[in-house]
């Protein structure tokens, strides 16, 4: 059901893009915005969203904007890796509620993975404050 629907501009990530909701940003340009996930599955869990598109998911993304956006996803993934030096890096993206999507504005998750460190459940667990997230965000920001 939710895989195909019209874009709802009141979604929380669009509110962040419009400056109506706060976020702890690590990167922003004319194509994309990256910020810390407030329910991080691991320390350093970062999200990258495209600007100026009404794309609920990967399937909706206009082809002529996809390449530029994916370059930003890679750029942020590289900055997370350079900052935190994880053993692995998980880049993931969900389409539709049955696949695990909870916010309907396209986004990629970037998760630094460390040997022996458990990855928390998706979109659950404790909510982090801006003060909690800012120290690691500042380090990632400095890697660009």
Catalytic residue list: 107
Which residues have a Cβ under 8 Å from the Cβ of 25 and sit 6 or more positions away? 33, 34, 35, 137, 141
Task: Using CB under 6 A, pick the residue from 51, 53, 123, 134 that binds ligand AMP.
Answer: 123
Quickly list DSSP for 61-76. S-HHHHHHHHHHHHHH
Using the contact rule CB under 6 A, the part of the chain among 2-10, 37-45, 68-76, 80-88 near ligand AMP is: 37-45
Task: Using CB under 6 A, pick the residue from 39, 58, 114, 144 that binds ligand AMP.
Answer: 39
Residue 129 found at the interface with ligand AMP (CB under 6 A): no
| Three-state SS at 81 | helix
Task: Using CB under 6 A, pick the residue from 38, 106, 110, 137 that binds ligand AMP.
Answer: 38
- How many helices (DSSP H) and strands (DSSP E) are in the chain? 3, 5
Question: Considering only residues 86-115, where is the footprint of ligand AMP by CB under 6 A?
Answer: 94, 100-103
The tokens describing 113, both together, are 């993975």
Site residues (vs ligand AMP, CB under 6 A): 12, 21, 23, 37-39, 47, 94, 100-103, 123
């Amino acid at each position: 059901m939710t895989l195909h629907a019209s874009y709802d501009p009141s979604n929380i990530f669009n509110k962040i893009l419009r400056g109506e909701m706060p976020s702890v940003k690590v990167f922003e340009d004319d194509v994309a915005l990256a910020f810390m996930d407030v329910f991080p599955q691991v320390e350093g869990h970062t999200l990258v969203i495209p600007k100026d598109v009404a794309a609920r998911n990967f399937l909706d993304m206009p082809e002529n904007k996809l390449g530029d956006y994916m370059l930003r996803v890679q750029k942020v993934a590289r900055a997370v890796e350079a900052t935190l030096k994880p053993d692995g890096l998980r880049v993931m993206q969900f389409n539709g509620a049955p696949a695990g999507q909870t916010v309907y504005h396209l986004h990629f998750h970037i998760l630094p993975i460390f040997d022996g460190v458990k990855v928390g459940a998706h979109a659950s667990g404790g909510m982090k404050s801006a003060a909690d997230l800012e120290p690691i965000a500042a380090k990632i920001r400095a890697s660009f």
